[in-house]
Amino acid sequence: MNPKQRIQLSRLLTRLDRLDPSESLPKPEHARPVGSAFRIGITGPLGAGKSTLINKIAREYRKLEMSVGIIAVDPSSPFTGGALLGDRVRMHDLTLDDGIFIRSLATRGASGGLTFSAIDAADLIDSFGFDRIIIETVGVGQSEVDIVGACDATVVVFEPGSGDGIQVMKAGLMEIADLFVVNKMDLKGTDRFLTELETILEMKDHDRPDVLTTSANLGDGISELMDWLEDYFKRSMNDGSLENRRAGQRIDRIKRSVELIVARKLWQVISPATLDKVVNSDMPVRKAAHQLIEQFFSGKTDR
């Protein structure tokens, strides 16, 4: 990607950030059809080493001469400038690479629309011809889980040291993971963690996600992880599961888009005066809501 394209992509992403949900996505010149890039969603609790892992994955793809777009939705990620100095320095040489594009998305204020923005951003980066797109989120909130669930492969990263790893799985990560990565395998407690993980995975009756161990810091297990990813993409292309998965994701996106546009319309149609009146009454919340909705629909019918 040349500097001119980089600037164009950055600008389009900025326009995207400010886009009303009812407006159309900005279209780059000479855009490639969306859907050519494989998308890897990486999530997991704070401190699991997601960013270091992503750093390593991106470097491996570069060795394979593939270009990589990185979207960091995690506000604590070094990619978003949220980390301590050490991490930021480590990221530095990635940002100097022409085949790497990094974008961070704020989670603040984007409630509900965050998943939408992250996937839109991935589409835009995709259309610029990147081979792989990595989306990083902290895997606890619902929208963070939704985002990585909207990728082609969903990787959940854990650190064995904390007893919390297993508990996080209850947060819905279990259901969306295609692969569990137990990072920091050099730390003590890894064996015990793996045993606990196996126990929990065996209790579930649906498709068992794979489990790999890595030490992103030391570089251990990275080539196995790369093999897993590329093999997974090949398999899911060949057996049609990628196509099915993307079709399901399209339904979700369309529905979410409809809801966002209508929600936006609501507060354009309902007058601030009406809202004030209802808020300052002693009506219960749901009754107040119904009054406003009535005004919305009668307002609409008038037009």
Residues of the shown chain interacting with its own copies in the complex, contacts defined by CB under 8 A: 21-25, 45-47, 75-76, 80, 82-84, 107-108, 110-112, 114, 138, 140-144, 146, 162-164, 166-168, 170-172, 247, 250-251, 253-255, 257-259, 261-263, 266-267, 270, 275, 278-279, 284-290, 292-293, 296-297, 300-301
Sheet holding 153-158, edge to edge: 100-104, 68-72, 132-138, 38-44, 153-158, 179-182, 210-213
Q: How far is the CB of 82 from its own copies (least distance, A)?
A: 5
The separation between CA 75 and the C-alpha centre of its own chain, rounded to angstroms, equals 12
* 17 versus 259: smaller Cβ distance to its own copies: 259
Q: How far is the CB of 230 from its own copies (least distance, A)?
A: 28
* 1 versus 31: smaller Cβ distance to its own copies: 31
Q: How far is the CB of 218 from its own copies (least distance, A)?
A: 19
Q: How far is the CB of 96 from its own copies (least distance, A)?
A: 24
Per-residue tokens: 69: 């777009």
Q: How far is the CB of 253 from its own copies (least distance, A)?
A: 5
Q: How far is the CB of 291 from its own copies (least distance, A)?
A: 9
* 25 versus 66: smaller Cβ distance to its own copies: 25
Q: How far is the CB of 61 from its own copies (least distance, A)?
A: 26
* 68 versus 125: smaller Cβ distance to its own copies: 125
Radius of gyration, CA atoms only, the chain? 21
Residue 77 C-beta-side C-alpha neighbours within 13 Å: 30
- Report CA dihedral (56, 62, 68, 72) to the nearest 10 degrees: 20
* 131 versus 164: smaller Cβ distance to its own copies: 164
CA distances from 276 to 99, 271, 272, 281, 292 (A): 52, 9, 6, 9, 10
* 1 versus 166: smaller Cβ distance to its own copies: 166
Cα–Cα distance, 192 to 185 (Å, whole number): 11
The separation between CA 281 and the C-alpha centre of its own chain, rounded to angstroms, equals 41
* 1 versus 171: smaller Cβ distance to its own copies: 171
Q: How far is the CB of 138 from its own copies (least distance, A)?
A: 5
Residue 254 C-beta-side C-alpha neighbours within 13 Å: 6
Facing residues of 134 across strands?
40, 70
* 154 versus 162: smaller Cβ distance to its own copies: 162
The alpha-helical segments, DSSP class H, found in the chain are 3-17, 50-63, 85-95, 114-127, 142-149, 164-168, 173-176, 190-203, 222-238, 241-269, 272-279, 285-302
Facing residues of 215 across strands?
220
